[in-house]
Structure 1
Amino acid sequence: MQEYNDKRVFTGGRRTMLIMNKVVAGLAKVGISLMGSRVLSVRGRKSGEWRSVPVNLLTVDGERYLVAPRGHVQWVRNLRANTEGRLAIGRRVEVFRAEELADPAKPEILRAYLKKWAWEVGAFFGDDVRADSPTETLLHVAPGFPVFKIHTV
């Protein structure tokens, strides 16, 4: 269900993450959210078919965001091509429009994301990037981690 293009993920870790993704997606499909998890569906930019992947929905100051901790993966490319998507938890489906943030706007969102989910995705950010990293460090890595602000349609 999830794409992996990050060379830092080793075979054993990849297998564990694939299993976790299936578990999180399965729970979200039946209506159980683990710390904000949802199933994101976006139309494929070439096929036009719906593609789904589990994601962590982050809320900061009342605004909601999707962060791509694995970088510029397929769901990110698809969301850039067609900014409308769906977030589901159980039978509740929300249609949204996504707005990609520019790199200078990302540090505080990345910081909040790492505070909440570093235990799950910290390895993708590398050993030098943590929630308490200086803003300069977060700005330096920002181009590698797409962030989308979610607007309900």
Structure 2
Amino acid sequence: MSTRYQRPGVFTKSVFNRIVAFLVRRGVNVWGSRVLSVRGRKSGEMRSTPVNLLVVDGTHYLVAPRGHTQWVRNLRAAGEGELRLGRRVQPFTATELADDEKPDLLRAYLKRWKFEVGMFFDGVDDKSPEADLRRIAPDHPAFKVVLS
């Protein structure tokens, strides 16, 4: 199993994520963004971060462009969380996808958000061959989300 994790820089943590989270908490849909809240696997406290909620054929997914992040580790442990857009909070359960299930999902994710996260995918984009998507799949955890 891959353990790849690309830490966010100071600008992303201190400026970009805070601006996106601020807007999303006020109900502004920033290109599909939500604020993910999931219980910390060690602290037990709720932890929050902005994420991109991908919808493919009516099914919701979360993809971790930076790899095996803290939110990924927490979601694996908890198996559930909440997605917020404005005042609307949607509890959900999550199931992690196997690497073989990810190529089409990664392609859809990159098609929608390449401008924002493409630099985390080692030159692979939505037009890359399936072999390239399979190669990077272990580095990018993905979860099927079932909203309650």
TM-score, normalization by structure 1? 0.90
**Shift of residue 126, structure 1, vs aligned partner:** 1.6
**Shift of residue 22, structure 1, vs aligned partner:** 1.1
**SS of equivalent residue, structure 1 residue 47:** coil
**Shift of residue 135, structure 1, vs aligned partner:** 0.7
**Shift of residue 124, structure 1, vs aligned partner:** 0.7
Structure 2: state its 5+ residue gaps.
none
Residue 85 (structure 1) aligns with: 81
**Shift of residue 15, structure 1, vs aligned partner:** 3.5
- The reply to whether residue 6 of structure 1 matches residue 6 of structure 2 is yes
Matched residue type, 1:71: G
Residue 139 (structure 1) aligns with: 134
After superposition, give the CA deviation of every residue in 1:59-78 in whole Å (9 maximum; x if it has no partner): 01110100000000000000
* Mapping 1:9-48, distance limit 5 Å: 14-18=9-13, 19-48=15-44
- Select the residue among 104, 111, 124 that pairs with 2:107: 111
Structure 1: state its 5+ residue gaps.
none
Matched residue type, 2:134: L
After superposition, give the CA deviation of every residue in 1:89-146 in whole Å (9 maximum; x if it has no partner): 011000000010000000011000000100000011122x011111111011100000
**Stretches of 4+ moved more than 6 A in 1?**
none
Residue 72 (structure 2) aligns with: 76
**Shift of residue 17, structure 1, vs aligned partner:** 2.3
TM-score, normalization by structure 2? 0.93
CA distance in 1, matches of 2:57, 2:49: 25
Residue 95 (structure 1) aligns with: 91
**SS of equivalent residue, structure 1 residue 131:** coil
Q: May I ask how many residue pairs the two structures share in their alignment?
A: 143
**SS of equivalent residue, structure 1 residue 34:** coil
What percentage of residue pairs aligned between the two structures are identical? Answer: 57
